[in-house]
A = this chain, B = another copy of it.
């Protein structure tokens, strides 16, 4: 099943999308006992929102070998692969929906880059979950673009503006249930040119391993998201570009890129 979140007439709702792209509005949360209403809309006529606003926004960060190697080369260092799944965090202020613009601040460098990745959405409260049961707690999967300003990523003490500037976390377009995360393929395009692709299954630590490790110390709750990291090298995005992340069996998350005007006019 496909679940989306949308805004219409100033109100926010969840819906189920059928194969004919008709959205049937539901009452309640997709994670609980929702009720299907008689209200439906054409998908293309709805303003989609990020499919969930997570209570906690987890991100694996470095989790694919080629990306670790690429990042090390940029820094002129030897690659160091993570020895265990130490999860990181992102912030909800930065969320953007499918088709929303990624707005680059005027004082950012040219090095604003995409990172296309799988997102697991937690569906059931859990703590201390063994790895072989961990996927039972996943509601479904969506797509994320972990937009990153590389100079701030290096210069700042934390990833606050490098990765959490408003609009730097596009997520969507919807959540798809009943998928095997190890059976998914990611393709990233910049202005319709393929710039990266990889199999989700080549992650250093998979979804189940991460959830099991996290839940040893943390209670995961419905709506929490876990971004799984990207693979490969990444390129700069500039004003006027369109970036798209496609994941097989899920869909395509596409966003235009806009650079903020310098108010000083420089």
Contacts and interface: CB of A to CB of B under 8 A. Distances in A.
Interface of A: 53, 55-56, 61-62, 82, 84, 86-89, 91-94, 105, 127, 156-158, 160-161, 164-166, 214, 216-221
A61 B157 contact: yes
Contact of A218 (B62, B94, B214, B221): B94
Contacts of A161: 216-218
20 contacts: A55-B92, A56-B92, A56-B93, A61-B158, A62-B157, A86-B156, A86-B157, A88-B160, A89-B89, A89-B91, A89-B158, A89-B164, A93-B218, A93-B219, A93-B220, A160-B217, A160-B218, A161-B218, A165-B217, A166-B217
A253 B142 CA distance: 40
Nearest to A82: B157
Contacts of A218: 91, 93-94, 160-161, 164-166
Nearest to A53: B55
What 9 pairs between A and B have smallest CB-CB spacing? A86-B157, A165-B217, A161-B217, A88-B158, A86-B156, A89-B89, A56-B91, A93-B218, A87-B160
A221 B12 CA distance: 18
A166 B93 contact: no
Given A61-B158, A217-B160, A166 B86 contact: no
